[in-house]
Amino acid sequence: MNPLLDDSKQPRFDLIGPEHVVDGLRELLTELGTALEDLETSLEPTWEGLVTPLERIGERMGYSGGIVRHLMGVKNSDALREAYETIQPELVEFSMRIGQSRPIYDGLVAIKSGGEWSKLDATQRRILECLIRDAEHSGVGLEGDAKRRFNEIQQELAETATNFSNHVLDGTKIFALELNDRAEIKGLPPSALALAAQAATDAGHANATPEAGPWRITLDGPSLQPFLQHSKRRDLRETLYRAYITRASTGDLDNQPLIAKILELRREEAGILGFDSYASLSLASKMAPDVTAAENLLEELRSASIDAAKLDLADLKQFAAQQAASEANDLRHWDIGFWSERLREERFAYNDEELRPYFPFERVLEGLFALADRLFDVKIKAADGDVSVWHDDVRFFRVFSRGDEEIAAFYLDPYSRPAEKRGGAWMDECIGRSRGRLPVAYLVCNQTPPIGETPSLMTFREVETLFHEFGHSLQHMLTQVDQGLASGIRNVEWDAVELPSQFMENWCYQRETLLGLSGHFETGEKLPLELFEKIVAARTYRAGSDMLRQLYFALMDLELHSRFDPKQGSAFDVQAKVAEKTTVITPLAEDRFLCSFEHIFSGGYAAGYYSYKWAEVLSADAFGAFEEAGLDNPQAVQETGRRFRDTVLALGGSQSPMEVFVAFRGRAPTTDALLRHSGLAA
């Protein structure tokens, strides 16, 4: 059997290669095509006669296709790209074939309008209504030229999004600063020098050392961010910054024409389906009722943060002037990270590099798993070696319930690998819970890797990111919904799916949790209490600027997908327009950030980036329940944690997000907790 098609157990990553992709998926498509034809000709308008077999087809396709998409993100190669580009049109065609199947759609409508409806429980009814809506959004009602053009658009969008993502990966890989003079590395901390020397070694400088160089600085996050924060060479910071904001915007990797094409295709797609914009189409399946509601929330947050952001910039200018910095009266984009870090050190008497030794990766994991046990009564045990993995760095864990019953598992791929792995962090499903199968998750980060004999020492932001992605994984793994179409994160509205992830970040500022996951990699010493207090005090440092940055992205996304006509102007004009009210330093004229904005052009956040803030309102309010119960009261925390598990984490997409939130919180959400946590409350 082609190992890509064996869904009887965990994926055989030791056997699956690019050579299995085309033949394997074509074989599967043939098999599932026959199953679909049989279903269309013999279906009964009942749950077992239609929805259950439809789910089975989706599960089979999702499993094998999901493995290939996963490998495209974590083990990208020319051979895999070629294979995926060959088979992708056939995958899209099959997906459209299901979505546009008139017999299946008519059968679903018949269930809803007939006597079968009364036999369904609430979860089944919600699933059925979502299946009908999704079919309508997939063009099931289209005929003739409209259907033909709609299907052409789906193929073009899939191909263009893949090319967009590949360009970003390649654009990140091709740039590097090769430094040979010690004057060029002035200000960089030992951890950054060690990583830069390791990067130089990987690039062919066999004798590179942290002390003598050469040093290689790349656009990969663990390399880029420390350089912008600590390098005293303003000219090199500028070079690096300009390279970062112009990634994938020139030559063969230029994403500018792809942006225009994607926006135009989405606009046309929405029009064919009868929507006035792609944003309206996108929000028709989200928690926010319409574009106006999403924009109103973003504006409420913008109004609360703009003055604070302006004050943040004034503080930096004043501080730079006190240090007699020549750039004090003309701070540029490549200066903000540097002077922000210097002011943080001055104001709170610590820096991120001081924290790293206290957060070795393995110790942080232990603390994270202890928190999961304390809050949600689950045990997580390492099971490395039980399954095959796609890279030696990948870990595997099993999750057990209070009765020591295995309920889930997950892969963890923690470290940056810029040569083959896309940037950022994400969670995805390997296997969903359904028909007795246990859920399995992929949890992927891009944190600082081990260097020589030194383990991975995490920045505080990397700790937060790990907590964030683990929150997504918990919702996937702790679901109690047995209907596969609504288990875990499935069927959860996109603007609510960030609730568990952002909720988990709050625990990084809770004393018992943070001290519990710390341990100096050399001495084992816990994070000193005074350092913890400084971290908490600094939580709202530049909160206005941080809030405004996310609002800049979210409002730009909504503007591009609602009122903007790609035939009438440039997306970068929209960027400049939104920047006028959401930035305190105007972006550079050559800024091409949009060319690497994968979230909205090749990810799932098109006309949905606002979801981060929409869900952060929910997550902050949810954490407020623990604050009200008393964070220093173990029993109250435990009881509240169990309630969170039994609602937010357990119910998945079986109920609307508002119903799930109210079931946990006892009321609708407010922005109060988010503004309070951010230090922006009136």
Q: What is the mean pLDDT of the chain?
A: 96
Instruction: Using pLDDT thresholds of 50, 70 and 90, give the confidence band for residue 348.
Output: very high
- Model pLDDT, residue 403: 81
Instruction: State both tokens at 236.
Output: 């090199």
- Residue 159 annotated among the catalytic residues of the structure: no
- Model pLDDT, residue 302: 97
Is the pLDDT assigned to residue 245 strictly greater than 80? Answer: yes
- Model pLDDT, residue 576: 97
- Rounded to an integer, what distance in angstroms lies between the CA atom of residue 21 and that of residue 27? 10
Q: What is the DSSP letter of 446?
A: E
Is the pLDDT assigned to residue 306 strictly greater than 90? Answer: yes
Is the pLDDT assigned to residue 331 strictly greater than 90? Answer: yes
- Model pLDDT, residue 464: 98
Q: Tens digit of pLDDT for each residue in 174-196?
A: 999 999 999 999 999 999 999 99
Strand runs (DSSP E) across 316-400, as ranges?
Answer: 379-382, 395-400
For helices 634-644 and 611-629, angle between their N-to-C axes, nearest 10 degrees: 140
- Model pLDDT, residue 234: 97
Catalytic residue of the set 295, 462, 469, 598 = 469
For the chain, the structural domain boundaries read 3-141, 175-247
CB-based contact 655:612 (threshold 8 Å): no
Q: What sign does the CA torsion over 380, 491, 67, 108 have?
A: positive
- Model pLDDT, residue 346: 95
Residue 492's closest CA among 379, 656, 366, 356?
Answer: 656
Q: Would you mind telling me the total number of residues written for the chain in this entry?
A: 682
Look up the CATH superfamily of 3-141: Endopeptidase. Chain P; domain 1 (1.20.1050.40)
User: How do the residues of the chain divide into helix, strand and coil, expressed in percent and rounded to 5?
Assistant: 60, 5, 30
CB atoms within 10 A of CB 249: 21
Instruction: State both tokens at 21.
Output: 């992709």
Q: Tens digit of pLDDT for each residue in 499-541?
A: 999 999 999 999 999 999 999 999 999 999 999 999 999 999 9
Instruction: Using pLDDT thresholds of 50, 70 and 90, give the confidence band for residue 298.
Output: very high
- Model pLDDT, residue 466: 98
Is the pLDDT assigned to residue 435 strictly greater than 80? Answer: no
The radius of gyration of the chain from alpha carbons, rounded to an integer in Å, stands at: 25
- Rounded to an integer, what distance in angstroms lies between the CA atom of residue 225 and that of residue 241? 10
Instruction: Using pLDDT thresholds of 50, 70 and 90, give the confidence band for residue 402.
Output: confident
Instruction: Using pLDDT thresholds of 50, 70 and 90, give the confidence band for residue 608.
Output: very high
